[in-house]
Chain A
Amino acid sequence: MAEKMELKEVEVWDGNYAASQALRQAQVDVVAAYPITPSTPIVENYGAYVANGYVDGEFVMVESEHAAMSGCVGAAAAGGRVATATSSQGFALMVEVLYQASGMRLPIVMTVVNRALASPLNVRGDHSDMYLGRDSGWIQLDAFNAQEAYDLTLCAFKIGEDLRVRLPVMVHQDGFLTSHTAQNVHTLSDDEAYKFVGDYKPHEEMLDFSKPVTYGAQTEEDWHFEHKAKQHKALIESREVIEEVFAEFKKLTGREYKRVESYMMDDAEVAIVALGTTVETARVAAQQLREEGVKAGVVAPRVFRPFPFDDIRDALENTKAIAVLDRSAPMGAMGALFNEVSAALYTTPNRPLVTNFIYGLGGRDFSVEEAKRIFKEQKAHADAGYITTPIQQFSGVRGPKLGFFETKRGK
């Protein structure tokens, strides 16, 4: 039996430590991992738990991230709880196997500490890796601070392992800003946390020899489409279970999570939509602007996949102008979050004005002042009744102003 760890009701943890504690408390059977900045401490912390008897499961330090996810898939198919952690290039190396994990419906939990993708090489936080995973068939939860990294990692097991879902889950947090920033974190005791997550329920496991199963069969044009359709439906319909798990978590802790988080949106005229730590920056900016009389609000997808098309629409349909912030180089298109939010809003009667900001790449700071400036720009669009700037703009980049595409509405 693993040793229990006595935790204080409030601990001072950074995001990495919070995530690693959640993995420990979930009593994961197999962690197969490979360290990479900035998620390395998750793996190191877990190694310390192993070395000191706090973990009963196996800790497999593999030779690459691709192998980490491969080991996770093999382990998960063998019928137990599985988790890993990664970032950036490591995430990119895993991509092939991410699709295999979801296609085989294996509920692996991966804590992803978001970081930019080379080239040029960069270890700081942006959302390039998170975006790279967006078509991989995983549920993607986004934590904005260390507390949420802890809470959502516990929720992730319960969501993914639910037999109605059986899908792998990523829990994202921002590199360094969350992963390396120590904050107060309210904890659950080991018993409470494990009771919440629950025992793993083996399903079609390779170690039940009374029911041999084949994993990873091939399908061509006569079968592939049906399997992908079924998988997509499962991901879309995981919304219900996600909400159930969040409700149960609230009952236990008082901390409430929603698929889309809204701040000061009841009467908001202008809004920022963002992910990660930027949400908190935008909230501070909105509060300050409220004192200046600007009806500003913030909307943040807590669940990036399945994309909350429904709740995003509900949260934003009555605003006049919205800035959608993408912390990933869009490379020849509008930002992905912009596209998805815009598509949702296109189905509303109001069709608010939506612009796109590319910001914070490679860990570039995003300030409250800049958030306020963006809000004010939205206010200008709202007052004019059309988009007065290029639709896509770069925020915080040096050099001449960089923006693309003009509106064809209004003027």
Chain B
Amino acid sequence: MSRGVLATEKRGVRELGAEEFVGWDEVQQGVVLPSFNSELKENVSHIRPEERDYSDFNSYTATVASWRVIKPVYNRDICIDCQNCWVWCPDTSIISRDKQMLGIDYDHCKGCGVCVEVCPTNPKSLLMFAEAEEIDEALAKWPEKKKKENK
């Protein structure tokens, strides 16, 4: 699967448990883990994730994609950029910049489906598909707008 939007080349490059198992002489003293490789020049909350120098110890560099059996697919054409999916994503996997939803971080998405449930558009701009489904094919299958049910 492609890296997707705004990924630095370090995002999600390692499967959990596939890291190099170094010896006692190479483990971190005091089990202390630095989040970044180089000294931050400014407050980290003023640096966009794609511009950060993440250390190999940062889970940003790991992937949990293999947890997924179903995945959310994003349809830009319907999205109203409400950011509901962004605020409730438990896995920091909705990529929004400048008030726009840009897409899904498939390295860190676990496929919980919360984003689809909280999407308010009609039809939804996010839907769950089988993990193996190609994005283009998923988009081609997108449902039509549902009529309001008569009560």
**Is A236 an interface residue when CB atoms closer than 8 A count as contact?**
no
Q: Give the chain A neighbours of B2 by CB distance below 8 A.
A: none
Return the contact of B39 from the options A103, A204, A211, A230 (Cβ within 8 A).
Answer: A211
Least distance between A283 CB and chain B CB atoms (Å): 40
- What chain B residues lie within 8 Å of A217 (beta carbons)? 31, 33
A216 at the interface (CB under 8 A from B): yes
Interface of A is mostly: loop
A166 within 8 A of B: yes
For B44, the chain A residues whose CB sits under 8 A away are: 209, 212
Residues of A within 8 A of B36 (CB): 211-212
Give the docked Cα–Cα distance between A225 and B21 (Å). Answer: 12
A219 within 8 A of B: yes
| CB-nearest residue of chain B to A206 | B32
Query: What's the nearest-Cβ distance from chain B to residue A227, in Å?
Result: 6
Give the complex CA separation of A213 and B17 in angstroms.
21
Q: Encode contact with A along B12-40: 1 for CB under 8 Å, 0 otherwise.
A: 00000100011111010111111110011
Q: A104 near B32 (CB under 8 angstroms)? A: yes
With A104-B30, A230-B25 in contact, do A214 and B35 touch (Cβ < 8 Å)?
yes
A230 touches B29 (CB 8 A): yes
Assign chain A's interface to a size class.
20 to 34
Cβ of A210 under 8 Å from chain B: yes
Contact of B43 with A by CB under 8 A: yes
- CA A225 to CA B29, docked complex, whole Å: 13
Chain A residue at minimal CB-CB distance from B41: A210
CB pair A106 B30 closer than 8 Å: yes
Which of A212, A216, A226, A233 makes the CB contact (< 8 A) with B35? A212
A234 to B30, CA, bound (A): 11
Cβ contact of B29, chosen from A166, A210, A216, A229, cutoff 8 A: A166
CA distance A211 to B40 in the complex (A): 7
Q: Are B27 and A226 in contact (CB under 8 A)?
A: yes
Q: Which residues of B contact A226 (CB under 8 A)?
A: 22-24, 27
Bound Cα distance A226, B40 (Å): 30
Tally of A-B Cβ pairs under 8 angstroms: 64
Interface of B, helix, strand, loop or mixed by DSSP = loop
Q: Are A230 and B27 in contact (CB under 8 A)?
A: yes
Q: Which of B29, B35, B41 has the most CB of A within 10 A?
A: B29
Which A residues are in CB contact (< 8 Å) with B32?
A: 104-105, 204, 213-215
Q: Are A105 and B39 closer than 8 Å at their CB atoms? A: no
Assess whether A291 is interfacial by the CB under 8 Å rule.
no
Evaluate contact between B34 and A212: CB separation under 8 angstroms.
yes
Once bound together, how far apart are the Cα atoms of A218 and B43, in whole Å? 27
Whether B29 contacts A105 by the Cβ 8 Å rule is yes
Shortest C-beta distance, B94 to chain A (Å), equals 23
Interface centre among B32, B34, B40, B44 (most CB of A within 10 A): B32
Q: Are B34 and A211 touching (Cβ within 8 A)? A: yes
- Residues A104 and B31 in contact, CB atoms below 8 Å apart: yes
B31 touches A216 (CB 8 A): yes
Q: Is A222 an interface residue (CB 8 A)?
A: yes
Given A105-B29, A227-B27, A230-B29 in contact, is the A222-B21 Cβ separation under 8 Å? Answer: yes
Contact B34 A213 (CB under 8 A): yes
Q: Which residues of A contact B25 (CB under 8 A)?
A: 230
Q: Which of A166-212 contact B (CB under 8 A)?
A: 166, 204, 209-212
Complex Cα spacing A404 to B62, Å: 59
Are B33 and A229 touching (Cβ within 8 A)?
A: no
A223 within 8 A of B: yes
B46 CB to closest chain A CB (Å) equals: 11
Q: CB within 8 Å of B: which of A221-256?
A: 222-223, 225-227, 229-230, 233-234
In the bound assembly, the distance between CA atoms of A45 and B76 in angstroms comes to 68
Chain B min CB distance to A310 (Å)? 22
Q: Is the CB of B43 within 8 A of A209?
A: yes
Q: Give Cα A149 to B91, complex, Å.
A: 53
Q: Which residue of A lies closest to B37 (CB)?
A: A211
Question: Which chain A residue has the least Cβ–Cβ distance from B21?
Answer: A222
| Sample of 20 more A-B contacts, CB < 8 Å, known A211-B40, A225-B24, A226-B24 | A104-B30, A104-B32, A106-B30, A166-B29, A204-B34, A209-B44, A211-B36, A212-B34, A212-B36, A212-B40, A213-B32, A213-B33, A214-B33, A215-B32, A223-B21, A226-B27, A227-B24, A229-B24, A230-B29, A233-B24
Q: Which residues of B contact A (CB under 8 A)?
A: 17, 21-25, 27, 29-36, 39-41, 43-44, 57
Pick 16 A–B contacts, CB within 8 A, sort by A.
A103-B30, A104-B32, A204-B34, A210-B39, A211-B34, A212-B34, A212-B35, A214-B32, A215-B31, A216-B31, A217-B31, A219-B31, A225-B24, A226-B23, A227-B31, A230-B24
